[in-house]
Amino acid sequence: MVDLKSFGNKEMKLAPGHRLCPGCAAPIISKLVLLAASDYDVVVGTATGCLEVSTTIYPYTAWKVPWIHNAFENVAATISGVETAYRVLKKKGKINKNIKFIAIGGDGGTYDIGLQSLSGALERGHNFLYICYDNEGYMNTGIQRSSATPIGASTTTDPAGTVRPGKLEFRKDLTAIVAAHHIPYVAQASIHNLNDFLTKVKIAIETEGPSFINVLSPCVLGWGYDSSQTIELAKLAVETCFWPLYEVKNDNWILNYDPGDKKKPVIEFMKSQKRFKHLFKPENEWVLKRAQEEVDKRWEWLKRMCEK
Amino acid sequence: MLFIKMKKTKTNRIKKALSGAHAAAEAMRQINPDVVAVYPITPQTPIAMKFSEFVNDGLVNTEMIRVESEHSAMSACIGSAASGARTMTATSANGLALMTEIVYIASSLRLPIVMNLVNRALSGPINIHGDHSDAMLVRDSGWIMLASVNAQDVYENTIMAVRISEHKDIMLPVMVLQDGFITSHSVETLFTLDDKSVKNFVGEYKPKHNLLNTENPITIGPLDLFDYYFEHKRQQAEAMEKSKYIIKKIFNEFSKLSGRKYDYFEGYKTNDADFIILTMNSSVGTAMEVADSFREKGFKTGVLSVRVFRPFMNEEVVKKLRNAKVVAVLDRAIAYGSHGGVLFNDVRSAFYEQQKKPKILNYIYGLGGRELSVDMVLKVFEDMIKLSKGKEIKQIQYLGVRD
């Protein structure tokens, strides 16, 4: 575990004044990642998305570290190029310091349109950390459905209607897909557990080869809740086992939090969010039931994966 | 050998037999770039394969990124070039189409990436052979585009492209075109330079800004809205404009090594010609053969070959063609819905303000690798002669296609 106090006097590498929404988890995640990596020189790549458009509106930038944005679906390929250039230039003696590379993408740029680019970069074994801030939809373009959107959620491309109550498919399990690449380090984390998250970033950044951390990123606008509740919702997602905390270290699956008998029903996570509001009508009860069944099924699967 | 005229120079020139693709790979070996990110596609693949041998046999210091798509190839090239590494790639047709989004971003970020484009027909229907539809897809993308008549041109254009793209007043990516299969897979005699001469000519890449400079962090690729985007695009256009004059300087500098002369448009017997075919890439050779046969019959025929397709030099093309009676522009791609092909439109537009101008015909030829035969070119010269004698000739025609 990291010593949280040791971060107290570190400079924040993401400056205030960016234009992300109040209560948005993306800048919290970014700041924490940069904080946990603050012992190193880092270069950050960001996929097109909320974080990118809100932190770098020309001629301003909120980034106090070297930063590159290329397009939506290619941050992993872009950072591959940066990391490879670094290796060559270092070998040639043109650079003599150690630099760490971090790619950040939302769920749209990671689960969906950027999945191929990510998979390619993982397979090639570049030395980088990929952070996915998963807000469960295309929030930057106005809350459209992604493959990370959970069952029952109303989005602008799959809204709660009279014959179809929003998304009816279960979300993609990207963390497990990434783990299937057998890279050295994969984890799921949450912003309510600072120690767990910062420790994971520190492990990942110090890992040789590719590493990946998936972080749930509550979205005030897309999920529909009071901006004071961001951390609370992140916590509920973990306590309901909707977003379990675990890591896969060299193919060893380790559960970081098991609520045991205190596992809360998933509606505890869902009920305060406007995107699920329609599910609490009697005719849509079956969706809530299916959501709970899937959370239970995946939780049991994860526990089996983590059994020694 | 038609176009390989050389003066004596102090440089060692080595006679070799190479395909166009291997000529590109050989140039890349001598350039010894820092990073090559590439994905295989026919007919570009022999470049990637040959260069991979060079890498794995330790003949270059290059790090190769064997990416999972052309989209990632160009994306990785951007990351690499932004980090201050000399970066190259190669592609064809559908591969270029897949990476087109990033091709535009490369030029807008002003990154000096050099890419060999082995021209192939775009799908559909799917076809692996040569035409210029892929090049036309990206003609407005802000890349400098150099065309190659043969393997010799491919080799020299690739080396010159490095200097052109990295020039501080240009900082634009450069594409080197060659015809798929006809050039890329045909073995020709060519003369290369010794490794040291190429190394000295390309020099070291020292960019002004560099992503890896952590002491002076920069932000690359920010959101650029209506208040600045337009100015940045204009700067890009001005860099392209400036490149026109710098390209010629670099051509002249390279001439001293190679003994060959390079120009935006290169004429074959065009000085006194009444009838000139303007074309690009491998068809130049066929057109020259036929022009010679008409010369023997007493007609003043010639061929103008495009070396610098983008930027397109209006004043230069006018200078070379204005004394002709008739010009026939050969386009190896259809610009659907336009009045004729892209080159035809470029040339015709260049002459708009001119008082003295030739009549200009357009021929669409060679799509999907269809051969451009001597008979087809004969017909083009015959049409031009007939037109000069007052006979009516259709302005835009297809060559060698069934009705």
User: What is chain B's mean pLDDT, rounded?
Assistant: 97
Mean pLDDT of B24-32: 98
Q: Do B79 and A45 touch (CB under 8 A)?
A: yes
User: What's the CA dihedral at A19, A205, A90, B25 to 10 degrees?
Assistant: -80
Do B101 and B142 reside in the same domain of the chain?
yes
Note the ipTM here.
0.97
Of A79, A90, A144, A83, residue with least CA distance to A114: A79
Which H or E element spans position B349? Answer: helix B342-350
Instruction: For residue A78, list chain B residues with Cβ-Cβ distance below 8 A.
Output: 75-76, 78-79
Residues B204, A29: Cα–Cα separation, whole Å: 40
Q: What is the reported pLDDT for A246?
A: 98
- Neighbouring C-beta atoms of residue B285, cutoff 10 Å: 21
Mean pLDDT of B69-76: 98
* B167, part of any domain: yes
Q: Do B217 and A67 touch (CB under 8 A)?
A: yes
Q: A61 touching B, CB under 8 A?
A: yes
Residues B74 and B99 sit within 8 Å (Cβ to Cβ): yes
Do B214 and B276 reside in the same domain of the chain?
no
Dihedral of CA B153/B156/B162/B164: which sign?
negative
Q: A11 touching B, CB under 8 A?
A: no
Q: Where are the alpha helices (DSSP H) in A3-149?
A: 25-36, 50-55, 75-91, 107, 115-124
Confidence of residue B1 (pLDDT cuts 50, 70, 90): very low
Instruction: For residue A140, list chain B residues with Cβ-Cβ distance below 8 A.
Output: none
Q: Do B105 and A70 touch (CB under 8 A)?
A: yes
Q: Which residues pair with B304 in a beta bridge?
A: B267, B278
Residue in chain A closest to B36 (alpha carbons) equals A81
Do B41 and B178 reside in the same domain of the chain?
yes
Percentage of chain A beyond pLDDT 90 is 97
Do B43 and B188 reside in the same domain of the chain?
yes
Instruction: For residue B89, list chain A residues with Cβ-Cβ distance below 8 A.
Output: none
Q: Do A45 and B224 touch (CB under 8 A)?
A: no
Q: Do A116 and B82 touch (CB under 8 A)?
A: no
Residues A287 and A234 sit within 8 Å (Cβ to Cβ): no
User: What is chain A's mean pLDDT, rounded?
Assistant: 97
Residues A22, A230: Cα–Cα separation, whole Å: 10
Q: What angle do CA A269, A22, A218 make, to 5 degrees?
A: 25
Q: For residue range B225-259, list pLDDT tens digits in order.
A: 999 999 999 999 999 999 999 999 999 999 999 99
Residues B36, B87: Cα–Cα separation, whole Å: 6
Nearest-CA distance from A296 to chain B in Å? Answer: 36
Q: For residue range B268-308, list pLDDT tens digits in order.
A: 999 999 999 999 999 999 999 999 999 999 999 999 999 99
Q: Do B83 and A82 touch (CB under 8 A)?
A: yes
Nearest-CA distance from B238 to chain A in Å? Answer: 20
Instruction: For residue B107, list chain A residues with Cβ-Cβ distance below 8 A.
Output: none
A185-189 and A246-249 beta bridge pairing: antiparallel
Do B209 and B103 reside in the same domain of the chain?
yes
Do B380 and B231 reside in the same domain of the chain?
no
* Residue after which a domain boundary falls, among B229, B258, B287: B258
* Residue after which a domain boundary falls, among B220, B238, B258: B258
- Neighbouring C-beta atoms of residue A75, cutoff 10 Å: 34
Q: What is the reported pLDDT for B156?
A: 98
Residue pairs spanning A and B at CB distance below 8 A: 164
Residues B107, B113: Cα–Cα separation, whole Å: 9
B13-19 and B187-193 beta bridge pairing: antiparallel
* B6, part of any domain: no
Q: What is the reported pLDDT for A2?
A: 87
* B221, part of any domain: yes
Structure tokens at B382: 């015959």
Q: What is the reported pLDDT for B5?
A: 73
Residues B43 and B134 sit within 8 Å (Cβ to Cβ): no
Dihedral of CA B347/B348/B352/B357: which sign?
positive
Do B90 and B155 reside in the same domain of the chain?
yes
The chain B residues in contact with chain A (CB within 8 A) are 34-35, 37, 61-63, 65-69, 71-73, 75-85, 87, 101-102, 105, 211-214, 217-225, 228
Which H or E element spans position A21? Answer: none
Considering CB atoms only, which of B79, B87, B211 is closest to A80?
Answer: B79
Percentage of chain B beyond pLDDT 70 is 99
Instruction: For residue A94, list chain B residues with Cβ-Cβ distance below 8 A.
Output: 84
Instruction: For residue A11, list chain B residues with Cβ-Cβ distance below 8 A.
Output: none
Give residue B167's Cα distance to chain centre.
18
Residues A44, A69: Cα–Cα separation, whole Å: 9
Q: Which CATH superfamily is domain A4-306 in?
A: Thiamin diphosphate (ThDP)-binding fold, Pyr/PP domains (3.40.50.970)
Considering CB atoms only, which of B34, B61, B224 is closest to A58?
Answer: B224
- Tokens 């010009």 correspond to B327
Considering CB atoms only, which of B84, B213, B223 is closest to A85?
Answer: B84
Do B306 and B243 reside in the same domain of the chain?
no
Give residues with Cβ within 8 angstroms of B302, minimum separation 6.
B267, B268, B269, B270, B271, B273, B275, B276, B277, B291, B324
Give residue A26's Cα distance to chain centre.
9
Do B250 and B375 reside in the same domain of the chain?
no
Q: Which residues pair with A43 in a beta bridge?
A: A101
Residues B373, B384: Cα–Cα separation, whole Å: 17
Q: Count H helices, E strands: chain B?
A: 12, 16
Give residues with Cβ within 8 angstroms of A298, minimum separation 6.
A173
Is this model's pTM higher than 0.90 or not? yes
Q: Do B105 and A71 touch (CB under 8 A)?
A: yes
Q: Do A80 and B34 touch (CB under 8 A)?
A: no
B265-268 and B301-306 beta bridge pairing: antiparallel
Q: Which residues pair with A144 in a beta bridge?
A: A138
Q: Is the pLDDT of residue B203 over 50?
A: yes
Q: What is the reported pLDDT for B274?
A: 98
Q: What is the reported pLDDT for B4?
A: 65
Q: For residue range A150-206, list pLDDT tens digits in order.
A: 999 999 999 999 999 999 999 999 999 999 999 999 999 999 999 999 999 999 999
Give residues with Cβ within 8 angstroms of A260, minimum separation 6.
none
Considering CB atoms only, which of A67, A68, A74 is closest to B72?
Answer: A74
Q: What is the reported pLDDT for B6?
A: 79
Give residue A74's Cα distance to chain centre.
16
Nearest-CA distance from A55 to chain B in Å? Answer: 8
Q: A41 touching B, CB under 8 A?
A: yes
* B7, part of any domain: no
Residue in chain A closest to B66 (alpha carbons) equals A124
Counted domains in chain B: 2
Percentage of chain A beyond pLDDT 70 is 100
Q: For residue range B95-123, list pLDDT tens digits in order.
A: 999 999 999 999 999 999 999 999 999 99
Q: Is the pLDDT of residue B143 over 90?
A: yes
Do B330 and B269 reside in the same domain of the chain?
yes
Mean pLDDT of A93-100: 96
* Residue after which a domain boundary falls, among B208, B243, B258: B258
Which H or E element spans position B385? Answer: helix B374-388
**Helix, strand or coil, per DSSP, at residue B136:** helix
**CATH number where B324 lies:** 3.40.50.920
Do B299 and B323 reside in the same domain of the chain?
yes
Do B233 and B270 reside in the same domain of the chain?
no
* B98, part of any domain: yes
Q: Is the pLDDT of residue B313 over 70?
A: yes
**Helix, strand or coil, per DSSP, at residue A19:** coil
Q: Do B225 and A57 touch (CB under 8 A)?
A: yes
Strands (E), B214-313: 219-220, 265-268, 275-280, 301-306, 308-310
End-to-end CA distance of chain B: 35
- Which residues form the domain of B164? 13-258
Residues A59 and B232 sit within 8 Å (Cβ to Cβ): no
Q: Which residues pair with B89 in a beta bridge?
A: B115
Q: What is the DSSP letter of A186?
A: E
Q: For residue range A26-84, list pLDDT tens digits in order.
A: 999 999 999 999 999 999 999 999 999 999 999 999 999 999 999 999 999 999 999 99
Q: Do A80 and B212 touch (CB under 8 A)?
A: no
Mean pLDDT of B55-81: 98
Residues B174, B171: Cα–Cα separation, whole Å: 9
